[in-house]
Structure 1
Amino acid sequence: MEIIISILAGIIFAVAVYNLLQKQMVRIIIGTVLISHAAHLFILTMGKLKRGQPPILTEGITSYTDPLPQALILTSIVISFGLTSLMLVLAYRTAKENNTDNMEQLRGKPNE
Structure 2
Amino acid sequence: MELLVASATGVLVAVGVYLLLRGRTFPVIVGLTFLSYAANVFLFAIGRLAINRPPIISPNASGYTDPLPQALVLTAIVISFGMTALIVVLALRGFLETGSDRVDLDTLDDARAPRKKPDPGRGDWPA
TM-score by length of 2: 0.81
Letter matched to residue 4 of structure 1: L
Structure of greater relative contact order (alpha carbons < 8 Å, 6+ residues apart): 1
Cα distance between partner residues in 2 of 1:96 and 1:37: 29
After TM superposition, list the pairs within 5 Å mapping 1:93-112 onto structure 2.
Answer: 93-105=93-105, 108-109=111-112
1:24 positional shift: 0.2
TM-score by length of 1: 0.91
Q: 1:16 to 1:110 in 2, by over 3 A?
A: farther
1:61 positional shift: 1.3
| Conservation of the 8 A alpha-carbon contact between 2:49 and 2:66 | no
2:17 is paired with a residue of what secondary structure? Answer: helix
- How high is the sequence identity, in percent, across the aligned residues? 41
2:104 is paired with a residue of what secondary structure? Answer: helix
Q: Please state which structure has a larger fraction of its residues in helix.
A: 1
Where does the alignment leave 5 or more consecutive residues of structure 1 unmatched?
none
Q: How many residues align?
A: 111
After TM superposition, list the pairs within 5 Å mapping 1:1-112 onto structure 2.
Answer: 1-105=1-105, 108-109=111-112
Following superposition, which runs of at least 4 residues in structure 1 exceed 2 angstroms of deviation?
104-111
Cα distance between partner residues in 2 of 1:54 and 1:20: 38
Cα distance between partner residues in 2 of 1:93 and 1:47: 39
Cα distance between partner residues in 1 of 2:28 and 2:15: 11
Give the greater-gyration-radius structure (CA).
2
Moved more, 57-66 or 67-76: 57-66
The two structures, once aligned, show a CA RMSD in angstroms of: 1.7
Cα distance between partner residues in 2 of 1:95 and 1:106: 15
2:37 is paired with a residue of what secondary structure? Answer: helix
1:89 positional shift: 0.3
Where does the alignment leave 5 or more consecutive residues of structure 2 unmatched?
115-127
1:103 is paired with a residue of what secondary structure? Answer: coil
2:56 is paired with a residue of what secondary structure? Answer: coil
